[in-house]
């Protein structure tokens, strides 16, 4: 795979030690913050890894971009967190002032913040050309 | 969907958003950021965010958003294929001190020292169950829908059980917890907590404490079963990474070992909790709760009523600071449970019925909480601002469990909802 693996794995949130981690040695390089030492005379133990099994990640290519937003309909989608509706109102205002050829349509996504909304997705696919989605609070 | 999208997230959720996109297969998603928070800001303040810079990328926010929808994709942004996130080597070899440090540095503990999970100790733990080490127990995620669930085996649970200081006879209970896939470190910004009520003969077999100090740090199975739950919630699903998979704004001390509550069945006037849920008295069962917090103890003294204090009134009053997003889990000392009987409440249902009718709110005081996000307001439900309604619309929001040693007629109230009850016996 041609993608920068280190960058991807770093985005996945793995620590540098685990990124390094094909080694079976915890290494005596562990920080001695608490005055601990790794004297060669000390007995070594083997500890088992407590982690579970993450699923493989399928890379999803991003959708092709538009040449311009002029004349296009942009859906402004809220995931339902407090304030997202007002914030998206202000984005609609910004387009009116700065890019008046852009049509905006506000929608509240159904379900929780992580849930899919197939009905809204179908509407956007039929009537819209781009989405701006406000996530969180 | 095939339509270009530009997500906007407040800067407080930067790491969470980037990690989540990566875990969902879009590590290079074009995310724009606003200052935090958006919630509670005026329209003018929000517009100023749009006129200002993205605080992460330090470029004008709206220009960035328009650009992210129109700038052609790079080759990496169009990539397909699969990647498997690494979780480290199957084992680590070093001195005991260095292993402690290694586990700590790599986020595999609750920051307290652990029992080092050597093969010998893990093998001993595995003797606590008839299930095979490589059997897949279940799947767990820090937040359903938000993060892909990880799977895990009996052996991986055993490693965490050893780390927590559990003994092999506790292991079936720990496996029962794991089998539900319920993380004790839920990702929410709300600093949520988890509780588990244990019923059946296993409480005595393990010498669990359901008497004096039951919910304090005085009993090994109570404490280590709860700690194992937290460790599993970090290690079996990649949870508990602050800013990424754990977002609780203030955190909660209960997350160290959770609320493990063996019910005091012998001193309760009512059938045990698991029997309420359809299990037989002789079955060993663990029941799960989830929510905001637990109150301080509320005593029976000072209620000003003789000869029997009005425990029901005190219980209802104790609900006043709670929102209705989660339910009311009452943890009653046997003195309170039996006192309720003296007041005429002969069944749990009769207590719950009274509580639901008498724990009320005025619509205008809770309007935004009760009805925000719903398509219809209180008017559509035939209510006025002055209508008095039950705080909890359904009686199953109330749950009563008996625990304690009868040194004082106290109850504690957790703002928590019931989730599920599962068999422990299945994992012996």
Note whether B224 and B339 are same-domain residues: yes
**Can you give the pLDDT at residue B17?**
86
Residues of B in contact with A132 (CB under 8 A): 5-6, 8, 65, 69
User: Which two structure tokens, joined as six digits, stand for B308?
Assistant: 């029997």
Examine the fold and report which residue of B21, B51, B78 is the final residue of a domain before the chain moves on.
B78
Note whether B50 and B158 are same-domain residues: no
**Separation of alpha carbons B240 and B234, rounded Å:** 5
**Can you give the pLDDT at residue B91?**
97
Note whether B197 and B55 are same-domain residues: no
- In this prediction the pTM is 0.83
**Can you give the pLDDT at residue B303?**
61
Q: Report residue A35's pLDDT band, with 50, 70 and 90 as the boundaries.
A: low
Q: How many CB pairs under 8 A join A and B?
A: 342
**B396: closest CA of chain A, how far (Å):** 23
Is B88 inside a domain boundary? Answer: no
Note whether B140 and B195 are same-domain residues: yes
* pLDDT single digits (tens) A98-115: 999 999 999 999 887 778
**Can you give the pLDDT at residue B217?**
95
**Can you give the pLDDT at residue B132?**
98
Contact A6/B at CB under 8 A: no
Q: Which residue of B85, B110, B188, B369 is the best one to mutate when testing the A interface, meaning the one whose CB has the most A CBs within 10 A?
A: B85
Going residue by residue through chain B, which has 428 residues, state the pLDDT in tens, using 9 for 90 and above.
789 999 999 998 888 888 888 888 999 999 999 999 888 889 999 999 999 999 999 999 999 999 999 999 999 999 899 988 889 999 999 999 999 999 999 999 999 999 999 999 999 999 999 999 999 999 999 988 778 899 999 999 999 999 999 999 999 999 999 999 999 999 888 899 999 999 999 999 999 999 999 999 999 999 999 999 999 999 999 999 998 889 899 999 999 999 999 999 999 999 999 999 999 999 999 999 999 988 877 766 556 556 777 889 889 988 888 877 899 999 999 999 999 998 999 999 999 999 999 998 888 877 665 544 444 456 667 778 888 888 888 889 999 999 999 998 999 999 999 999 999 999 99
User: How many folded domains does chain B comprise?
Assistant: 2
Contact B112/A at CB under 8 A: no
Note whether B57 and B123 are same-domain residues: no
User: Which two structure tokens, joined as six digits, stand for B139?
Assistant: 């799947």
Q: Which domain holds residue B340?
A: 96-427
**Can you give the pLDDT at residue B368?**
62
**Separation of alpha carbons B246 and B415, rounded Å:** 20
Note whether B188 and B39 are same-domain residues: no
Note whether B301 and B399 are same-domain residues: yes
Is B86 inside a domain boundary? Answer: no
Is B175 inside a domain boundary? Answer: yes
Note whether B38 and B120 are same-domain residues: no
Is B85 inside a domain boundary? Answer: no
Is B91 inside a domain boundary? Answer: no
* pLDDT single digits (tens) A45-69: 999 999 999 999 999 999 999 999 9
Note whether B227 and B163 are same-domain residues: yes
Task: Report whether pLDDT(A26) > 90.
Answer: no
Is B158 inside a domain boundary? Answer: yes
**Can you give the pLDDT at residue B61?**
96
Contact B59/A at CB under 8 A: no
Q: Report residue A79's pLDDT band, with 50, 70 and 90 as the boundaries.
A: confident
**Can you give the pLDDT at residue B85?**
86
Please name the residues between 17 and 56 in chain A that touch chain B, using a CB distance below 8 Å: 17-19, 21-28, 30-34, 36-39, 42-56
Note whether B101 and B73 are same-domain residues: no
Nearest-Cα residue of chain B relative to residue A74: B5
Task: Report whether pLDDT(A8) > 50.
Answer: no
Site of tokens 């997003």: B325
Q: Are A12 and B6 inside 8 Å of each other by CB?
A: no
Note whether B248 and B102 are same-domain residues: yes
**Can you give the pLDDT at residue A5?**
42
Q: How far is CA A66 from CA A74, A128, B73, B117, B294, in A?
A: 11, 12, 10, 54, 52
Task: Report whether pLDDT(A6) > 70.
Answer: no
Is B89 inside a domain boundary? Answer: no
**Can you give the pLDDT at residue B380?**
62
Selecting from B12, B22, B118 the residue whose C-beta is nearest the C-beta of A47 gives B118
Contact A119/B at CB under 8 A: no
Q: Are B76 and A4 inside 8 Å of each other by CB?
A: yes
ipTM of this predicted structure: 0.87
Q: Are A67 and B10 inside 8 Å of each other by CB?
A: no
Nearest-Cα residue of chain A relative to residue B6: A132
Note whether B163 and B71 are same-domain residues: no
């Amino acid at each position: 795979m041609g993608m920068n693996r280190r960058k991807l794995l770093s985005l996945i949130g793995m620590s540098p030690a685990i990124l390094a981690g094909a080694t079976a040695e915890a290494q005596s390089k562990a920080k001695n913050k608490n005055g601990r030492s790794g004297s060669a005379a000390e007995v070594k133990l083997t500890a088992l890894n407590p982690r579970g099994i993450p699923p493989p990640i399928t890379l999803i290519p991003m959708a092709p971009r538009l040449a311009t937003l002029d004349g296009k309909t942009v859906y402004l989608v809220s995931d339902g967190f407090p304030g997202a509706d007002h914030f998206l109102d202000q984005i609609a205002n910004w387009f009116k002032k700065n890019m008046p050829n852009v049509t905006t349509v506000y929608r509240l996504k159904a379900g929780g913040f992580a849930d899919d909304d197939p009905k809204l997705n179908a509407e956007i696919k039929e009537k819209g050309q781009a989405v701006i989605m406000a996530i969180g609070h | 969907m095939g339509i270009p999208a530009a997500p906007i997230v407040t800067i407080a959720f930067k790491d969470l958003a980037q990690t989540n996109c990566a875990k969902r297969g879009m590590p290079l998603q074009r995310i724009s950021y606003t200052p935090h928070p958006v919630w509670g800001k005026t329209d003018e303040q929000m517009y100023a965010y749009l006129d200002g810079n993205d605080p992460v990328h330090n470029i004008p926010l709206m220009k960035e958003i328009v650009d992210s929808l129109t700038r052609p994709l790079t080759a990496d942004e169009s990539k397909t294929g699969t990647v498997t996130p690494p979780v480290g080597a199957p084992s680590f070899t070093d001195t005991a001190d260095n292993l402690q440090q290694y586990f700590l540095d790599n986020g595999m503990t609750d920051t307290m020292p652990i029992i080092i999970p050597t093969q010998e100790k893990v093998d001993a733990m595995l003797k606590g169950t008839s299930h095979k080490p490589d059997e897949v127990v279940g799947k767990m995620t820090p937040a359903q829908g938000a993060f892909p669930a990880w799977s895990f085996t009996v052996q991986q649970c055993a490693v965490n059980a050893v780390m927590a200081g559990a003994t092999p006879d506790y292991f079936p209970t720990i496996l029962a917890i794991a089998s539900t896939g319920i993380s004790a470190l839920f990702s929410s910004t709300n600093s949520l907590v988890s509780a588990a009520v244990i019923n059946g003969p296993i409480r005595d077999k393990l010498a669990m404490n359901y008497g004096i100090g039951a919910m304090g740090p005085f009993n090994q199975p109570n404490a280590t079963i709860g700690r194992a739950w937290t460790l599993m919630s970090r290690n079996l699903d990649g949870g508990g990474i602050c800013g990424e998979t754990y977002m609780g704004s203030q955190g909660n001390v209960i997350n160290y070992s959770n609320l493990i509550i063996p019910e005091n069945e012998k001193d309760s006037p009512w059938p045990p909790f698991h029997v309420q849920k359809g299990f037989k008295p002789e079955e060993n069962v663990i029941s799960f709760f989830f929510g905001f917090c637990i109150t301080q103890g509320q005593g029976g003294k000072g209620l000003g009523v003789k000869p029997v204090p009005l425990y029901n009134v005190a219980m209802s009053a104790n609900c006043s600071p709670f929102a209705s997003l989660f339910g009311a889990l009452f943890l009653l000392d046997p003195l309170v449970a039996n006192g309720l009987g003296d007041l005429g409440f002969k069944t749990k249902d009769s207590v719950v019925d009274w509580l639901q009718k008498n724990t009320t709110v005025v619509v205008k005081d809770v309007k935004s909480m009760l009805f925000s996000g719903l398509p219809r307001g209180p008017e559509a439900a035939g209510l006025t601002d002055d209508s008095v309604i039950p705080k909890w619309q359904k009686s199953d929001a109330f749950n009563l469990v008996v625990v304690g040693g009868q040194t004082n007629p106290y109850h504690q109230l957790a703002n928590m909802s019931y989730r599920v009850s599962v068999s422990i016996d299945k994992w012996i």
